[in-house]
Amino acid sequence: MFQDFKIVGDRPVAIQVKEYVKRLIIKGALQADQKLPSTREASGLLRVSRNTIIAAYEGLEDDGFTYAIPGKGSYVAAMANQSAADNRGADGSAAWQIHWKARMNEYAVSAVELDMMKQGIRANKGTISFTSIAPDERLFDLKDVRRAFLDRMAIEGQVLLNYGYAKGYKPLIEYLMRYMENKGVDISGKDLLITGGFTEGFDIVLSALRPSARRGAAICENPTHHTAIKNLRLQGFEITGIPMERDGINVELLEAVLQKQTNRFDLAYLTPSYHNPTGIVMSPAKRMAVMKLMMRYEIPVIEDGFNEELRYSGAHVAPLIATAGQGNGVIYIGSFSKVLFPGLRVGWVLGDRALIDALESIKRARTIHTSTVDQSILYQYLLNGNFDKYVKKARTEYKRKYELTKACCEAHLPEAQLTGDGGLHLFLTFPAGVDTRQLLEACTEQGVIFTPGDRFFIQEGEGTNTLRLGFSRVTDENIERGIQIIGEQARRFFKI
């Protein structure tokens, strides 16, 4: 005993000793009322200072795992390992076991099946990975983030570390309302809820709009964001996908589907700017046409404000919620996760005041509130004027990588049709007959991975000739080398 103790990392050694002895007690290696080695003996056995042992023993006593007898030493408390003994069964039978997979409901089983991260590719060290569309952490301006944290903590640190409000941190709500107003949104009659990123906001909205008496019906672009597909299905919605064109959703097909509908669609989910996965920006003309159709058929629109800040050419296009004017039919879900810092889990839902009031109650019932510390850091960072400076730097760097990636695709994958007007990825469509999952297997053997495009399509078997290339976290050298390998394998396998 005591021979397997090893100091790891930079945690205080006294805490490591305390946790080590605690594990021995819980496992039953040290029995109730058994005397622990003296502080001097333990110091020699564990090869740490006697003061470290004294601190560890004090911590064990504070936690109720030991008791001290003055002049005699420390002993294992009687109840410390009782739970472990109980679990073995009073009659010595095996520990109590539940077959949890058999207990899982349909929601849990579906969540596992739809979990793209669990079904994803495991990249070996040194692999060139085009799977991520997260921002490049090398661009993060840590000095300004640190200053924002210190500034806000100095102003109201004690408040920030306590419970917050379900609706969100008021200064940030007010800032984001002005931010959306500057995008051309008429905020009269509207309100805003802070969420833990886009996904929580989307899930809360779906739970509020899901019909009670039947399965829901949703309409969206095809392909579309995999997280949206997953959450729509988990919430019980049947999804109708409308194909994309070079300037956005096919409006003629959309109108035809709406005219033929036998049951009303409960909602539409649309990503008009830097669409995931295609990167397409919906044209202003199509935005107006889509909004007219949604208004005519009275279908609420959930707008995903994905990557709006990362357009590399042309003028800014107003979001759908801006084209709605004083109308309340659009629910806008935004976040800065792709352009700023995904680690700060902050997003927002902007919509009709009555809707936000209900969403606030759902939020309170689920998570009480989004981290106030995260919200306050983001608010102070924005207030300090760092956002515009950072976005300018990020846009310049990502534009350069975007153009490099595009040029490499045109050189090494001339058979593929490219889409992507901005953002952090490109979408490639190969001639019919090319199976990008087979291509992925071949490329994986050569040390390159990407995201097959079929997982973004509504129906199984669609989009098998497509793939998404995320370039934001890939070095220039690896962009060039990786796309060259993809091109070589595509020609070898598919004779294109």
pTM of the model: 0.86
pLDDT tens-digit map of 329-376: 999 999 988 778 888 899 999 999 999 999 999 999 999 999 999 999
pLDDT tens-digit map of 179-216: 999 999 999 999 999 999 999 999 999 999 999 888 99
Question: Which pLDDT does position 110 carry in this prediction?
Answer: 86
Peptide bond just before 277 cis, omega within 30 deg: yes
User: Confidence class of residue 10 from pLDDT cuts 50, 70 and 90?
Assistant: confident
Question: Which pLDDT does position 364 carry in this prediction?
Answer: 96
Q: What is the mean pLDDT of the chain?
A: 90
Question: Which pLDDT does position 91 carry in this prediction?
Answer: 55
Does the pLDDT value for residue 86 go beyond 60?
Answer: no
Peptide bond just before 223 cis, omega within 30 deg: yes
Instruction: Determine the average pLDDT of the residues in 289-308.
Output: 92
Does the pLDDT value for residue 85 go beyond 60?
Answer: no
Q: Which of 370-374, 441-445, 489-493 has the lowest mean pLDDT?
A: 489-493
Residue 403, number of CB atoms within 10 A of its CB: 11
Question: What does the alpha-carbon distance between residue 404 and residue 223 come to, in Å, rounded to a whole number?
Answer: 25
| Residue in 314, 252, 257 with CA at minimum distance from that of residue 280 | 314
Instruction: Determine the average pLDDT of the residues in 124-146.
Output: 90
- Contact of 381 with 148, CB cutoff 8 Å: yes
- Contact of 28 with 83, CB cutoff 8 Å: no
Tokens for 317? 């296009």
Question: Which pLDDT does position 420 carry in this prediction?
Answer: 86
Angle at 201 between CA 112 and CA 179, to 5 degrees: 145
User: Confidence class of residue 82 from pLDDT cuts 50, 70 and 90?
Assistant: low
Question: What does the alpha-carbon distance between residue 416 and residue 449 come to, in Å, rounded to a whole number?
Answer: 17
- Contact of 434 with 490, CB cutoff 8 Å: yes
Does the pLDDT value for residue 90 go beyond 60?
Answer: no
Question: What does the alpha-carbon distance between residue 356 and residue 301 come to, in Å, rounded to a whole number?
Answer: 15
pLDDT tens-digit map of 98-126: 888 888 888 888 888 888 777 666 677 88
| Residue in 377, 331, 330 with CA at minimum distance from that of residue 193 | 331
226 versus 95: which is more confidently predicted?
226
pLDDT tens-digit map of 447-457: 999 999 999 99
Question: Which pLDDT does position 224 carry in this prediction?
Answer: 96
Question: Which pLDDT does position 293 carry in this prediction?
Answer: 96
| Residue in 476, 487, 416 with CA at minimum distance from that of residue 448 | 487
Q: Which residue has the tokens 């605690």?
A: 22
Question: Which pLDDT does position 315 carry in this prediction?
Answer: 62
- Contact of 341 with 173, CB cutoff 8 Å: no
- Contact of 279 with 419, CB cutoff 8 Å: yes
112 versus 307: which is more confidently predicted?
112
- Contact of 249 with 301, CB cutoff 8 Å: no
Does the pLDDT value for residue 133 go beyond 80?
Answer: yes
Question: Which pLDDT does position 113 carry in this prediction?
Answer: 84
Question: What does the alpha-carbon distance between residue 357 and residue 192 come to, in Å, rounded to a whole number?
Answer: 9
| Residue in 52, 309, 440, 75 with CA at minimum distance from that of residue 430 | 440
